[in-house]
Chain A
Amino acid sequence: MQGSKTAFEELYREHVGRVYGLCLRMTSDHALAEDLTQETFVQAWRNLPRFEARSSFGTWLHRIAVNTVLGQARRRSELLGDTGTIEQQLGDVLADEAAGEPGSTRDLEAAIAGLPPGARYVLVLAGVYGYSHEETSAMLGVAVGTCKAQLHRARKLLRQRLGEPQEQP
């Protein structure tokens, strides 16, 4: 058993950055993203025999990560009952981080963090990680049409937020 865990740790080291990057950008919350990253790898370990080498391991991990993010988002909105409040809370976290470092990249990250969840998820998967509309919609469990509409909306919102002083709408 030990040998296989060591092997899995190698996989973890190689892929954790991309998994955490995805979780962080989708949730805009460091601590939450850490939890979800751990959950993702635990699920991956359990489902490893079902991994078929036809897709890349990284993509497979991302699928698990997206499911994990969506699951916690549902539970969270159930608990707090108000997605608007969460959105604002989440949007502030990365924006605060960016406060001390002017630069277009930080502005962009902060702008992404401020997007509403649906638009943000699609933008992160398609715009940052380069998944196709089909892949993105499959990972999020939405129709391709919905995905495209959300992406359009996300881009529009981003351009607004980047082109104007940062303000909560």
Chain B
Amino acid sequence: MSLLLRTPSPACGKPALAGLLGLLLFASSAALAGTSLNERRPAEPTGHVEVSNTAGTVSISGWDRREVEVTGELGKGAERLEFETSGKVTHVRVILPKKTRNVESSELVIRVPAGSSIAVNTVSADVQVRGVQGSQRLQTVSANIDTESAAEDVECKTVSGDVEIRGSGAPTLLTLTTVSGDATVDRVAGEVNANTVSGDFRLDLGAVSRSRLRSTSGDMSMSGQLTADARIDVEAISGDVRVDFDGPVNAEFDVSTFNGDIRNCFGPKPVRTSEYAPGRELRFREGPGSGRVRIKTLNGDVDVCRR
């Protein structure tokens, strides 16, 4: 599943404006559109930038200037753009009138010092981040998130938005939480914690030392190399779990399911937990067994493989 920064959904009840919002990020005809934006403020090279926008898009990229630049278009009906600096923190906020029902889309194109850390909050505005090396905290309700991580912490949270993350392979801490949004993660290493109710998560990781994956009905698939002291802990109620290991496997395995099937590509076969009760388990050690892989499901099937 690949994500592109999707066309923002039009605001309700304003058909003419809706057509315009589907176009370029930069303001074209100011008369019909909202206010075009073009501002800059000086900023610390490793400062913090906070962005909030309810609807539209937020596109952030890192550059080598000691400035934060905001361009784009403020949606008609938005009260104003709040763009101010206080110490090491720069705020970029689209302020809407208090009792607004028809939320106008604002397109924010923001450039920040590459070493910045960022925190972004939107409701339905899609978020795209490129070239930011500091930590990232990206939160939306229904919007998609598309980001690249460097070596710092990344946290992404959505209700129904999908998440796509490309890492650098350097170890980091990634925390992913969705209610129904799907997630695709590539080339992230280190510690990866992911939590969803019904989203499907595909995590293609590098060297993974810690991973805690939780799902109610979403399917989880994880691939990666286990470090010597790896701790992998996966629990799903009805979602299926698939774990593929790259490279040598050195771990104690503890896999159990109440109603699901366990398929193991290597090592012993699963056994019934009890003659009279449902349940299957698979416990074995591969190699010296210094790592730990724990997988528990209620109904979900479990596939453990080596590739």
Contacts and interface: CB of A to CB of B under 8 A. Distances in A.
A81 to B, nearest CB: 10
A141 B261 CA distance: 12
Q: What band does the interface of chain B fall in when counting residues whose beta carbon is under 8 Å from A?
A: under 10
B299 interface: yes
A26 B275 CA distance: 23
Contacts of A143: 261
Q: What band does the interface of chain A fall in when counting residues whose beta carbon is under 8 Å from B?
A: under 10
Interface string B276-300: 1110000000000000000000010
Interface in B259-274: 259, 261
A77 B276 contact: yes
Contacts, number: 8
SS of A interface (majority): helix
A167 interface: no
Interface string B202-217: 0000000000000000
A78 B276 contact: yes
A141 B276 contact: no
A31 to B, nearest CB: 23
B112 to A, nearest CB: 44
A77 B299 CA distance: 23
Contacts of A77: 276
A136 to B, nearest CB: 15
B259 A74 contact: no
Interface of A: 74, 77-78, 141, 143
Given A141-B259, A141-B299, 6 more contacts: A74-B276, A74-B277, A77-B276, A78-B276, A141-B278, A143-B261
8 contacts: A74-B276, A74-B277, A77-B276, A78-B276, A141-B259, A141-B278, A141-B299, A143-B261
